[in-house]
Amino acid sequence: ELSKEEKQRLRKEKKSQKKNKEKKDEQDALASEREKNCAPSTLSQPAPAASPPVQAAVSEPPAPAAGAPPADKPAKSKAELKAERRARQEAERASKPGKKGDPGPQSTAGKPKAPPSELQPVVKRLPEHVQVDNPEVLKKLAKKLERQQIPLRSDYGYKVSLFSHLHQYSRKAPLTQQLSIPSTVIHPVIVRLGLQYSQGIVAGSNARSVALLHAFKQVIRDYVTPPNEELSRDMVNKLKPYISFLNQCRPLSASMGNAIKYIKKEISNIPSQCKEEEAKTKLQDCIDRYIREKIVLAASAISKYAIEKISDGDVILVYGCSSLVNHILCEASEKHRKFRVIVVDSRPRLEGREALRRLVKHGISCTYVLISALSYVLPEVSKVFLGAHALLANGYVMSRVGTSQIALVAKAFNVPVLVCCETYKFCERVQTDSFVSNELDDPDDLMVTRKGKTQLEGWQQVSQLGLLNLVYDVTPPDFVDLVITDLGMIPCTSVPVVLRVKNVDQ
Amino acid sequence: MELQAVLMAAGGGSRMMDLTYNTPKPMLPVGNKPLMWYPLNLLERVGFEEVIVITTKEVQKMMSTDPKMKLEVKMKLDVVCIPEDTDMGTADALRHIQQKIKTDILVMSCDLITDAALHEVVDLFRAHNATLAMMMSKAHEFTETVPGQKGKKKTAEQRDFVGVDESGKRLLFMANEADLEEGLSIRKSIMRKHPRMHIKTGLVDAHLYCLKKSVVDFLAENKSISSIRGELVPYLVRKQFSKAANSQTTKDEADEQSQKQKDGNVNLDLHILSRDEPLLQLAQAYSCWNDHRGDMSDAYHGGTLRCYVHIMEQGLCYRVNTLAAYIEANRLIGSDSIIGAGGQIAEKTSIKRSTIGNSVTVKEKVKVTNSIVMHGVTIEEGCNIQGSVICSNAVVGRGADLKYCLVGNGQRIEPEAERTNEVIVGSDQLMEI
């Protein structure tokens, strides 16, 4: 039992410690900030070639938009920054009292962290969606959602300890339970989209992105600029709660994240003298162009390259239902290539059935196996075509759980593995394992009812039992022989080059 | 705006004329609140801010004077009066307010008392982009003795046959027993698409419908449909599987069809089919989801008209359109007894499991059990009232013994009367059949 004075003293100590830590971090941030800008002023400076052109303006709104495209480059600039920062730290510490007055926004705006729009990381640089077991982060998230008037979706069920840092939601508890029925805060199109995401009606990376862009088109069409506000700034603020809502319904995919970044950039690039109607049509055209170029035309470009790789008499193995791989195979069969397909499927999603249906409808002869039979069918397979959810900056392929197994066993059998992925799915993230950042689906999906009996019905009552329903896994580049993108056929290790080229273009 | 709420409060209560010949059905007191307060309360709790109420002038007058309605209903009520003598069906009423309808609508009936989670119905409507989403509930057996009913209750209600698919959500078939004279026939096109269908008969329609705006536009052009429940819903359910709705016709073909067919069917096609935008179709084509499996067709079998139903397994759902339902609802709303304001209850009275209205005078030594006493009633000393319904402003003389009776509006029961299982109404009401 501590006395009152001792408690007060402890509290004061904790506070001062926290303050010192924050000050130090701000110092580091300010130091590197200054280093990049080469000037103590707050004007935007042309930065060194490697770093992104950061507009370190004090005003926040343009910062997220402008900072967003070059923001996600932790791979290269992190190392450079660290070295520069260490060199500068000593100099800065000497002149500490003078630099205190700079505003906080500078540090967050200038930092090349990797925030998708609403995931403002703490100085620790971890996105909040992988810190679910940290109560402070949860509190911050709850506060943010409250400010945006979006209900917080609560986690469900027991989480396996290795994945307790991720969200796990139940499909039977949709977010709409806590919303008012004629939804006023959130545009009805977004509510519908969120429902379709959480129920799995719109599933698959391309489908989700297209549906998202379609919803944004509706939102832009119904948008009215309030008086005394600029469209370029206000619309981005209007989109933020919608994105939070969609994130609560189902965590955003990498392709969706890139699409959102693109839209935000386009919105903030609207000149202020542009009339509202003009701006709206311009934005809608941008969205249409993005879909046409990055998704539809990219798919036809990829299938052109891929069809070169398919020869007559091939036995092709596919896994799950990838819209791109299905498209490639259907085009190949239309071009009269003779091949047959083995569709590998896995529980609980059993997406392979849908792929099987589409391929058979096109007249391709298919075989259907579950993933447990993979090593039995591989001897007769000539190549493996895989789709990807995202391609990470270190060459790893993030795809549906089970893909890495397929790639591993195929490598063991010396079967070439070709990954097909559009460039808009290339992501700045770096991941080497499937644990840190993943998605946990509803554990009740693993329950299956056969002959009227459900064996796992009471799984929550068994204390030592946890059900794990992972959605994604990462495949190392050693197992992937070729990546077919709309830019051409590249090895897996060239992904960072593509990313760099993309960013320089922007 | 996403949804507009429409409350149908112009019904006559034709199945409980004894109660409604003086008080219109929407204002019948249930647990001392007017009947239409319950659906309005549900809408308010869920988050609606405005409701369009379709009713008669009489009800509107009563609404404006009723204290409960004025104080407790905070939503904006847009009251639309329809003339009382015309026999307007629910669909006719919708046609009447077509100008006010700007988005999809949620139609409710004033006699629905439920604690259902409305978001379940609306989520089906939103997620599947449905044309119709409705709610049904398992029917409850009414156990209370109904005054005036001699002998076993004969099933005057005709059953509804409802066919749903395997998931229990998609509505495939809906018909009333009255329409099925030669037997239940199901079209081959339905069986081909949904080989497993569950047909249920013990369901009660909650008369809660989410309808797309295009359906209201269709009603405006097609004046032959006058009832939502009786005609529009079975029509929409049938139309899901008709050839026109499924062939994904382009605009040209639809124009051709309009020359061939004379009735308003094709207008519905034009309303519905032109809705699916190319981007949405692209997203659906990319998505690896299908609502059924086992055949080669795309999600929803390529159809654009979809009807969904949410069947409540548990929870309260009552349609107060018969006397038995009215008594049951009162029993449930009041846990033991509810006594209204402004009354006078003397000593030595016993009131059990009853609902007593406002301004009721109960004199000494009265026993009231299992009964409903409406507003303004006077019960003299020594009465014994059991299982009865006493309508407003009635007077029960001293020492009367009423068992399972229904005393109409303003009636006087003479002292020392002994009535069992009778409906006591005035002679002027007996004239109305």
Q: What are the tens digits of pLDDT across the range A296-332?
A: 999 999 999 999 999 999 999 999 999 999 999 999 9
Structure tokens at B179: 């329409």
- Which residues of chain A lie closer than 8 angstroms to B2, CB-CB? 181-183, 188, 191
User: Who has greater pLDDT, B22 or A295?
Assistant: A295
Residue A470, pLDDT above cutoff 90: yes
Residue A195, pLDDT above cutoff 70: yes
Q: Do B286 and A191 touch (CB under 8 A)?
A: no
List, in order, residues 6 or more apart from A336 with CB less than 8 Å away: none
Rounded Cα gap, residues B178 and B164, in angstroms: 20
Which amino acid, one-letter code, is at B55? T
pLDDT of residue B276: 57
Residue B414: helix, strand or coil by DSSP?
Answer: coil
Q: What are the tens digits of pLDDT across the range A258-289?
A: 999 999 999 999 888 888 899 999 999 999 99
Residue A219, pLDDT above cutoff 70: yes
User: Is the CB of A352 inside 8 Å of chain B's CB atoms?
Assistant: no
User: Is the CB of B129 inside 8 Å of chain A's CB atoms?
Assistant: yes
Rounded Cα gap, residues A163 and A466, in angstroms: 11
User: Who has greater pLDDT, A11 or B6?
Assistant: B6
User: Who has greater pLDDT, A374 or B250?
Assistant: A374
pLDDT of residue B84: 74
List B367's β-bridge partners, or say none: B350, B384
pLDDT of residue B244: 61
Residue A111, pLDDT above cutoff 50: no
Q: φ, ψ for residue A173 (rounded to 5)?
A: -120, 80
Structure tokens at A401: 């759980």
The candidate with the shortest Cα–Cα distance to B4, out of B72, B130, B97, is B97
Rounded Cα gap, residues B35 and B58, in angstroms: 15
User: Who has greater pLDDT, B252 or A425?
Assistant: A425
pLDDT of residue A384: 97
DSSP string, B291-321: S--SSS--GGGG-S--EEEEEE-SS-EEE--
User: Is the CB of A450 inside 8 Å of chain B's CB atoms?
Assistant: no
pLDDT of residue A297: 96
User: Is B2 in contact with B104 (CB distance < 8 Å)?
Assistant: yes
Rounded Cα gap, residues A348 and B275, in angstroms: 33
Residue B202: helix, strand or coil by DSSP?
Answer: coil
A291–chain B nearest CA distance, Å: 9
A115–chain B nearest CA distance, Å: 26
Q: Do B46 and A181 touch (CB under 8 A)?
A: yes
pLDDT-derived band at A114, boundaries 50, 70, 90 = very low
For B302: left if phi > 0, alpha if psi spans -120 to 50, otherwise beta; the answer is left
Report residues of chain B scoring pLDDT below 70: 68-70, 148-157, 244-276, 427-433
Considering only the beta carbons, identify the residue of A176, A179, A202 that sits closest to B287.
A202
Rounded Cα gap, residues A35 and A32, in angstroms: 5
Chain B residue whose CA is closest to A203: B287
A168–chain B nearest CA distance, Å: 21
Q: What are the tens digits of pLDDT across the range A37-95?
A: 544 444 434 433 333 333 333 333 443 333 334 444 444 567 777 878 888 887 777 67
Mean of the per-residue pLDDT values for chain A? 84
pLDDT of residue A84: 80
pLDDT of residue A230: 86
User: Is the CB of A201 inside 8 Å of chain B's CB atoms?
Assistant: yes
- Which residues of chain B lie closer than 8 angstroms to A368, CB-CB? none
User: Is the CB of B259 inside 8 Å of chain A's CB atoms?
Assistant: no
